[in-house]
Amino acid sequence: MKYLGLQQFIIRRLIQVLVSLFVVVTLVFFMFRLMPGDPTASMLEPEMSVQAQEMLLERFGLDRPLHEQYFVYLGNLLQGDLGISFHYRQPVFEIISTYAMNTIILMITAIIFSYAIGVSLGIIGAWYRGSKLESGMSAVVLICRSLPPFFLGMLGIMIFSFGLEWLPHSGMRTPGHGSENFFELYFSMDFLKHLILPVLMSSIYYIARPTLIMRNTMLDLIGADFIEMAEAKGLRKSRIMFIHAGRNALLPVVTNLALFLGMAIGGAVTLEYVFGWPGLGREIVLAAERHDYPLAQASFLMLAFIVMVLNFLVDILYAYLDPRVSYQ
């Protein structure tokens, strides 16, 4: 059996990512064009002359056979051209670049927050196994996991926005609140106030998975020799829990994180709709309803690309946490 070094493994994973992207590009192109409905209906107006209608169809390439549209699309994609939005009549890249950043910030913050809290809860639950603390904690996270994300979102809006009036209920910034640069846009107090509620409610939904995986893995490690050795040395309990046992129990959590990323990014559609967050998930739905193929394809591809890149980074993180790992 042949094993790869880390550098060879990274190259091999990069090739897999490129092949996967090509498959996704092909599937997405034909999937949206096989959907029922006429994309020209939203562009062509009854008062347009026949010549104007033909010019518009020619501009977007819709007068060509499907296979020609596909090869033209691939060629443009290789040059970084994602096309022109049917609805906005603007380059797609300009439209989705802002939406992609909004989605990344929302979901990555929620995932980091839920995994940081979930891993800590899992360690504490395993260490105090059989106690009322562990029973109560397990019950709470399972109840939160069983509630639909849209229900949690609406519950959060009802309590924190309409009840306590602490946080805004929708959007990414207050109407009229301008920003002149990237820093003012994403690091202003106004943006952070809008970010807190969707991150909090999505983290409550996501927190069960890392908590339960960490707890179960820790239970297998607590009786291990190296834990007893650490206790015999007189090390502080917190150091044994979070450093010695916690780090060794992280690998299943990291493995699961790779699978979880796709689900979490895909779940951004629900969150963005409930909280009126201007992200890629919400834009995919709107673009599909408008039969705006270029924008829908590019948004879907961007989400797929984000998930693949994050999975790639998780694989590298796995190697960092366990240097003994060899790559087959």
Residue 151 β-bridge partners: none
Cα–Cα distance measured from residue 133 to residue 238, given in angstroms and rounded to the nearest whole number:
17
Q: Name the token pair of 80.
A: 């970084």
Cα–Cα distance measured from residue 59 to residue 74, given in angstroms and rounded to the nearest whole number:
17
pLDDT in tens, 75-92: 888 888 888 887 887 888
Report which of residues 47 and 325 the model is more confident about: 47
Q: Name the token pair of 84.
A: 């022109």
Q: Name the token pair of 222.
A: 């607590």
The total of other beta-carbon atoms located within 10 Å of residue 239's CB is: 12
Exposed/middle/buried for 98, CB within 10 Å: 0-12, 13-18, 19+?
middle
* Cβ-proximal residues to 231 (8 Å cutoff; 6+ apart), any chain: 240
How much is the average pLDDT of 235-263? 75
For the entire predicted model, the pTM comes to 0.72
Q: What is the pLDDT of residue 257?
A: 74
Cα–Cα distance measured from residue 23 to residue 41, given in angstroms and rounded to the nearest whole number:
29
Residue 327 β-bridge partners: 4
* Cβ-proximal residues to 239 (8 Å cutoff; 6+ apart), any chain: 230
Report which of residues 248 and 160 the model is more confident about: 160
Whether 194 shows a pLDDT value over 80: the answer reads yes
pLDDT in tens, 281-302: 788 888 877 778 788 888 888 8
Q: What is the pLDDT of residue 324?
A: 60
The answer to whether 175 and 200 have CB atoms below 8 angstroms apart is no
The answer to whether 53 and 38 have CB atoms below 8 angstroms apart is no
* Cβ-proximal residues to 129 (8 Å cutoff; 6+ apart), any chain: 219, 222
Label residue 38 by pLDDT band (50, 70, 90). low
Exposed/middle/buried for 107, CB within 10 Å: 0-12, 13-18, 19+?
buried
